[in-house]
Amino acid sequence: MRAYAFVLASALVFAACGGSETSSKLPDVRLPTLGGPLGPSLASCNTEKCLTVVVAPWCTVCHRVTPDIVRLRRFLDKAGVGSRVVVGLDDLEPIKGMAALFGSDALLDPGGAMAARGVPLFIVTNRAGDIVKRVNGFPSGASSPDELAAFFGLP
Which pLDDT value is given to residue 17? 31
- Measured between alpha carbons, how far is 115 from 136 in angstroms, rounded to an integer? 13
Tell me what percent of the chain is helix, strand and coil, each rounded to the nearest 5: 35, 20, 45
Task: For the chain, list the domains and their CATH numbers.
Answer: 2-151 (3.40.30.10)
Which pLDDT value is given to residue 6? 33
Q: Is the pLDDT of residue 112 over 50?
A: yes
| Torsion angles phi and psi, residue 142, rounded to 5 | -110, 120
- Measured between alpha carbons, how far is 132 from 50 in angstroms, rounded to an integer? 10
Which pLDDT value is given to residue 23? 65
- pLDDT greater at residue 116 or residue 135: 135
Question: In terms of Cα–Cα distance, which of 52, 116, 43 is closest to 82?
Answer: 52
Distance between start and end Cα atoms, the chain: 51
The pTM of the full predicted model, rounded to 2 decimals, is 0.84
Query: What is the mean pLDDT of the segment spanning 82-92?
Result: 96
Question: In terms of Cα–Cα distance, which of 93, 134, 149, 114 is closest to 41?
Answer: 114
Residue pLDDT, tens place only, 34-64: 999 999 999 999 999 999 999 999 999 999 9
Question: What's the DSSP call for residue 110?
Answer: T
